[in-house]
Structure formats: C-alpha cells, structure tokens
C-alpha cells in the first residue's frame, strides 16, 4: 500500500471504525488512541522521543519498531491460537490461521534484522501494561489478552472485538516506520502490515456485523 493511502486509512481506523470492536466503557480491546481524553491521565507524546525530546527517526525508530512490534505480534498470535482451539466459526478460524502464519513469519523476519543489523534479540513476551508503543497508548495488558479471549462465553466474538483495535494499533506503528524508518527491509515489512491488517480489520468488522 502506498504511503499516501496509509495516511488516509490509519486515522480512520484508529477513530470511528474501532467503535465496532469496543464499548464506550473501554472494554475488551479498547487499546488504541493517540493521547487521552481523561484529564486524570498524563497525555503521552505523539511519538517515542529521543533524549533531546525529538521524535525517533531512522535507525532509532527501526529499533523501537522491532522492540514494540514483535511482542505486539506475539499477543495477536496467542489470541489467534485460542480462537483456533476454542472458536466455532469457520470464517473466524480461517482468519486466525492467517494471522498466525503472517505474524509468525514477520516476527522471524524482524528478529533476524534485529540480530544482523542492530545486534539485539527482541523479546516476544511482555507482561503488564505496555504504556505506549511508538506513541500509541495501550490500555490492554498484552500478556493477558489471550486469557480474556479464552474466558469469553463467545470466543469468536471476543477474538474479533479484541483483534480489531489490536490490529489498528499495529497500523499506527507500521505507518510511522514506513514514514520515517531507515531499514528498507523493515519499511517493507511495515508496509505489508498496513496492507494486510487493514484488509483484515474490514473482514473482522463484517463478521461482527453478521
């Protein structure tokens, strides 16, 4: 997907379209926002910042993207595995299989880039509140999202409700990497994330409307 298309798509998905996936009380999956309207919470920065208070760019952004996106992908894979194990809807199960295949592959690719180009191995698991990743506020605890799907009375519906905003937060992060990252392999992966997960959000919204 071309960057100008992503710029039009991402804000819409992060806003009104997410209402199909979460309630007004900030319920399941209500994790995606730029900043906060709650005056009792500190307003996060629009982007991760360097030591001089400037938005991350180039290699620093590449590192932040890998560090954030790998555990973010792992949370999606964990939820998708629950949907495969406990879900009943064949279309939801098919979507879960695709999420697992795509995001396992992308995690492996990002890990290889991190090790070969930046000399670190990203963590796949993250326990506790994430705070922000690349300026995207995450109110859900990614380590517990799969458990919430597994405990739901309707696993298929809960999977969709939690995955829509989770995908949308990935779009915000991936779009930032496309815009300002330095590593061409990473920006290509980020572009694929935007294209694939935007399409999947549409599919999930349609499944919820049935």
Domains located in the chain, CATH noted: 56-209 (1.20.1260.10)
Classify the C-alpha dihedral 105-107-109-112 as positive or negative.
negative
Closest CA to 118 of 169, 65, 71, 74: 65
- Whether the pLDDT of residue 53 is over 90: the answer is no
- For range 70-74, the mean pLDDT: 95
136-156 pLDDT per residue, tens = 776 467 888 999 999 999 999
User: How far apart, in Å, are the Cα atoms of 52 and each of 55, 65, 173?
Assistant: 9, 19, 21
185-210 pLDDT per residue, tens = 999 999 999 999 999 999 999 999 98
User: How far apart, in Å, are the Cα atoms of 75 and each of 80, 182, 188?
Assistant: 9, 26, 22
Q: If you average pLDDT over each of 6-20, 22-36, 81-95, which comes out highest?
A: 81-95
């Amino acid at each position: 997907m071309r960057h100008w298309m992503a710029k039009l798509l991402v804000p819409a998905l992060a806003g009104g379209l997410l209402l199909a996936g979460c309630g007004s009380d900030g319920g399941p999956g209500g994790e995606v926002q730029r900043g906060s309207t709650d005056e009792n919470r500190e307003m996060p920065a629009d982007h991760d910042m360097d030591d001089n208070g400037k938005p991350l760019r180039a290699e620093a952004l590449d590192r932040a993207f890998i560090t954030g996106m790998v555990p973010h992908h792992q949370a999606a894979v964990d939820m998708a595995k629950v949907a495969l194990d406990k879900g009943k809807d064949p279309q939801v199960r098919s979507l879960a299989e695709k999420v697992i295949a795509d995001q396992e592959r992308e995690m492996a690719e990002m890990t290889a880039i991190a090790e070969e180009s930046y000399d670190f191995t990203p963590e796949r698991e993250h326990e506790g509140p994430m705070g922000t990743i690349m300026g995207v506020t995450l109110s859900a605890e990614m380590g517990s999202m799969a458990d919430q799907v597994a405990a739901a009375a309707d696993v298929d519906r809960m999977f969709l409700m939690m995955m829509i905003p989770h995908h949308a937060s990935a779009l915000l992060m991936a779009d930032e990497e496309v815009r300002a990252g330095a590593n061409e392999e990473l920006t290509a992966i980020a572009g694929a994330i935007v294209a694939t997960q935007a399409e999947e959000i549409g599919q999930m919204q349609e499944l919820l409307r049935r």
